[in-house]
Amino acid sequence: MPPSLAFANLIRLFNQTGTLLLIFPTLWSLFLASEGWPRLKLLLIFILGSFLMRSAGVIMNDLADRSFDREVQRTRHRPLASGQLTPSQALAFLAVLLGLAAILLWLLNPLTLLLSPVALLLAGIYPFCKRFIHIPQLVLGLAFGWGGVMAWAAVRNELDLSAWVLFAATVCWAMVYDTIYAIQDKDDDQRIGVKSTAILFGSYTWLGVGIAGSVMLACLSLVARINHLGIEYSLTLMGVAVILGYQVLLLRSKISGEQAFSLFKQHIWIGALILGGILMGLP
């Protein structure tokens, strides 16, 4: 395999689902804080920054998990696990990505710059959480939600209640979709000792997902109340509730890895629905 293709596979260049799941909460925050379309500069910085940080995050994950990845059917062909790239090559690429992200940060206000080390810390500790805690999905949610906190700070130069409620909604959303995602590797994870909410919840995964989804919807409803969003936003939340309810019903029965991945990808549409609702519902 050409090195360029191995580096592309390392950052999942041909599968940007994770990037979109990181971008959407950031866009929710940008548009709400701006009370409409944000400045083009901020929009470009946070879209590019989301791509860079998600790419950096998966490199950190693969560096930490390369021995585990060799034992999992779905991940054994990843560039580090299969030996297509060495750890030193991955670290060099990681340094480039983080350097580019740092350049973007210097274009933002001091508060956003002050918040940025938390994003790096969360991205760095997440890969190791699955060794020690049964809810690593919570840490992933904190990492993905922090982009929205930074986006709010970049627009308003302060953090008010809406920023934190959106953050809580994003954390719960990540608990939903990453629990579903973890179903794909549940058997392999149990065998090698990797922890996840899919294992923790077991036959009650549907209930765990349902509770997290309900709290997410409650937080998003509170956002509407605080920001006086219109009926259009409420209607999109009803659509989100229908999708989540359908997924919970399916999870009451055992589903295959392929079905789990299909349900996971539906969350791109959930993120887009919420963004559309914000845009249409702004006063």
Span 97-150, pLDDT tens digits = 999 999 999 999 999 999 999 999 999 999 899 888 999 999 999 999 999 999
Backbone phi, psi, residue 106, to 5° = -70, -10
Span 1-27, pLDDT tens digits = 677 899 999 999 999 999 999 999 999
For residue 173 the two structure tokens come to: 């959303």
Taking a C-beta distance cutoff of 8 angstroms, is the pair 274, 240 a contact?
Answer: yes
The tokens 């982009």 sit on which residue? 147
Closest listed residue to residue 177, CA positions, set 269, 45, 277:
269
Taking a C-beta distance cutoff of 8 angstroms, is the pair 169, 212 a contact?
Answer: no
Closest listed residue to residue 52, CA positions, set 18, 84, 24:
18
Whole-angstrom Cα distance, residue 181 to residue 264?
A: 6
Whole-angstrom Cα distance, residue 31 to residue 123?
A: 24
Q: What per-residue confidence (pLDDT) applies to 100?
A: 97
Span 119-132, pLDDT tens digits = 999 999 998 998 88
DSSP state of 76: T
Closest listed residue to residue 104, CA positions, set 33, 26, 163:
26
Whole-angstrom Cα distance, residue 228 to residue 48?
A: 30
- What are the residue ranges in the chain where pLDDT is below 70? 1
Taking a C-beta distance cutoff of 8 angstroms, is the pair 230, 281 a contact?
Answer: yes
- From the candidate CATH numbers 1.10.3720.10, 3.30.540.10, 1.10.357.140, 1.10.10.60, the one assigned to the domain spanning 3-281: 1.10.357.140
Task: Collect all residues with Cβ–Cβ distance below 8 Å to 273 and sequence separation of at least 6.
Answer: 236, 239, 240
Q: What per-residue confidence (pLDDT) applies to 1?
A: 60
Whole-angstrom Cα distance, residue 179 to residue 124?
A: 20
What are the residue ranges spanned by the domains of the chain?
A: 3-281
